[in-house]
Structure 1
Amino acid sequence: MSGIQTASADASALAILAALDDRKTELEMLCDALTSCPVGNVVTAPRPVLVSPQHGFVTTTIWLSSWLDEAWRASMKYLLAQAKRVGIDPNEAERFKHVLGRLRTFFAHNLDPNTTRDRETRDTCYGWFKDACGSRVPGDGHWEQCLKTLLKSALRYVTLAIEIARAIEQHPDSKGLSDLWKDRLSRTDVVVDYLGSLQKAAGDLGCGGLNLPQVRDRYSKRWAEALSLVSAGTDIEEVTGRHMEQTLIAETGRLLPIRAADVMERLVLQPGESVELALRLGQVIYGMHPTLNQVSLLERLAASWNKLRDQ
């Protein structure tokens, strides 16, 4: 690529970055006007410096993820959830949100192509690269187009969020929708000691042998998202404890020779609290008889479950 072409590509990318800055300010002001709250937290990743197309693409991916999927997560999630209510199609925005997360994982983590999740991440990124620049594995001459495609998608994403916010402003139930937005933002201020809550739940359930810091690291983002959706006035400690218990039941299920599906089939249970209770009972039985295989554990569980049910 010639120097003139490179300069032109850089200028194009810089122009889109400038437009993103303008949209960022616009959405900040809209959120302040409608909710009297900041639209999100401070973006921790530095704004990208486009020293080269490939480096610019990687740093832009990390910056956009830090901004849109982390710092402003509560607002963007809320606005997209309201899109159809105000007559706006959120499908393109949802696709971008998914791809952005996969691209960040692609560059920030060592992926194991032998695992299903990491294989899907690679394939998603390869497909996006193919659509963006014509090759599943970008090389010299491809990264400029990838960068511009990413920035244009981000600009459309933020612009759509602004359109939704303006539609909320004009909606007949503008106050109710704005208050709900504010409520979602208020949940992001909740500080939860996840490890402490996990330890308490593990003690209550009698769960042993789990690496609780690893469990916390795997699930903390999911918990934060769930807590951001609870309404004001909710007992956060109680809700958090319930999430901890459900997680530990799921993790315990990995250590047991039986799964939730096995329990539902053998005990003829519907998904829900009964399955959790049955798995807890299975954990107790397995803790007392750790040599039981799947069939034997299910038989003992069924006998104990029926006895408890008949009492």
Structure 2
Amino acid sequence: MPQTASTPKDQLVEFVRLRERIDDLSRALLDSATPVFGSVSLPTPNVDAAPELAFIRTASWLYSHYKEVGRVSVKFLMERPAVQSLPEIRAHERLVHALRTWSQHTISPAPGNHDRAILKTCSDWFEEACAVLLPSSDEDWRQALNVLLGESCAFISQLTKQVEDIRADDARPQICQQWEDRISRDWPAHRFHEIVSTVASDMGRSTIDPVALFRRSENEIRRVLRITNESDLEFAARQCIERVLLTEVSKLLPITGRDIIDVLGVEPGQKVGELLQEARRLYEERQCTPEELLDRLLPLVGSA
């Protein structure tokens, strides 16, 4: 790996140079001329700003590269056998994800939970990078920033090497086809939203929020699209979304027991549960608004 510079500003310049290099290589290698990263909407961080702010913005900026604009190609290149033997490269990608979560979201660490694992990943790295569990001084943050950018340059250098190795590989056409196939299956979210909206309408479930449903089931829907052998990807996506609608949404009622108590005047108790069961049957029979469902339940209040 190349020697990295000694200041955050020089390291940032080196990262940008390496990013442009790998993008140029992938554009030349792939028939689709797709860059590994391309354009990142977040502004380039000002590493000369207050060190804590510079660190947080840099972590988010790197996350945008690895997990957003570069998510397909970065994952593909990290699956190359040579990278699988480099734990520090895989650890850096996981670290950036953890740092972004730790710095941008409220976490509630408790023994054994996911937030605890995020905090431990970050604190272990801080201890190694700047000899503190969590930075507090400008010196701590500046040192952490410098180490993070140095690791990011090593990370992108290794990805660049994988692209260069693919170019020289006897199986280059097959590897590039696999790479292109991954890219072609990575649809933007709005395309899935359109399919969800169409499927929901076709199934008589026009009250479904397509954006909310996709967010809830995005990992499963994208996974199916990645692994399916179906040549018609839109057909495969529709099949998966139909299954999600049938198995997930059918469990959700637009009303709760509190609505039955407050609107229909039913006393808390067994009758509320019985009416909820009947509400599910009515709702699965025909989707409707909360108000309509309560109206359909009203004649049953006395007999439930």
Q: Normalization by structure 1: what TM-score?
A: 0.67
Secondary structure class of the residue paired with 2:43: coil
Counterpart pick for 2:34 among 27, 38, 43: 38
Q: Is the 8 A contact 2:23 2:38 kept in 1?
A: no
Kindly indicate whether residue 40 of structure 2 is the aligned counterpart of residue 47 of structure 1: no
Q: How many residues align?
A: 251
Q: Any unmatched runs of 5+ in structure 1?
A: 1-9, 257-283, 291-311
Kindly indicate whether residue 124 of structure 2 is the aligned counterpart of residue 124 of structure 1: no
Q: Is the 8 A contact 1:80 1:90 kept in 2?
A: no
Query: For residue 78 of structure 2, what is the aligned residue in structure 1?
Result: 80
Report the Cα distance in structure 2 between the residues aligned to 1:21 and 1:187, rounded to whole angstroms: 27
Counterpart pick for 1:107 among 100, 103, 106: 103
Counterpart pick for 2:155 among 154, 157, 165: 157
Counterpart pick for 1:23 among 6, 12, 18: 18
Q: Is the 8 A contact 1:207 1:252 kept in 2?
A: no
Secondary structure class of the residue paired with 2:45: coil
Counterpart pick for 2:135 among 138, 157, 163: 138
Correspondence 1:172-191 to 2 at 5 A: 172-188=170-186
Q: Any unmatched runs of 5+ in structure 2?
A: 254-276, 284-304
Post-superposition offset of 1:206: 8.4
Query: For residue 14 of structure 1, what is the aligned residue in structure 2?
Result: 9
Q: Which moved more, 1:71-80 or 1:102-111?
A: 102-111
Matched residue type, 1:57: F
Q: Normalization by structure 2: what TM-score?
A: 0.68
Kindly indicate whether residue 241 of structure 2 is the aligned counterpart of residue 244 of structure 1: yes
Q: Which moved more, 1:166-175 or 1:108-117?
A: 108-117
Post-superposition offset of 1:134: 2.1
Post-superposition offset of 1:68: 2.1
Post-superposition offset of 1:153: 1.6
Matched residue type, 2:280: G
Q: Percent identity?
A: 22
Give deviations 1:65-102, integer Å, cap 9, x for gaps: 11222111111111112x21x58624322222112112
Kindly indicate whether residue 281 of structure 2 is the aligned counterpart of residue 288 of structure 1: yes
Report the Cα distance in structure 1 between the residues aligned to 2:90 and 2:39, rounded to whole angstroms: 23
Structure (1 or 2) with the larger CA radius of gyration: 2
Secondary structure class of the residue paired with 1:142: helix
Report the Cα distance in structure 1 between the residues aligned to 2:169 and 2:101, rounded to whole angstroms: 37
Matched residue type, 2:115: D
Q: Is the 8 A contact 1:187 1:230 kept in 2?
A: no
The alignment's C-alpha RMSD in Å is 3.6
Q: Is the 8 A contact 1:57 1:143 kept in 2?
A: yes
Report the Cα distance in structure 2 between the residues aligned to 1:138 and 1:253, rounded to whole angstroms: 47
Secondary structure class of the residue paired with 1:18: helix
Report the Cα distance in structure 2 between the residues aligned to 1:253 and 1:90, rounded to whole angstroms: 45
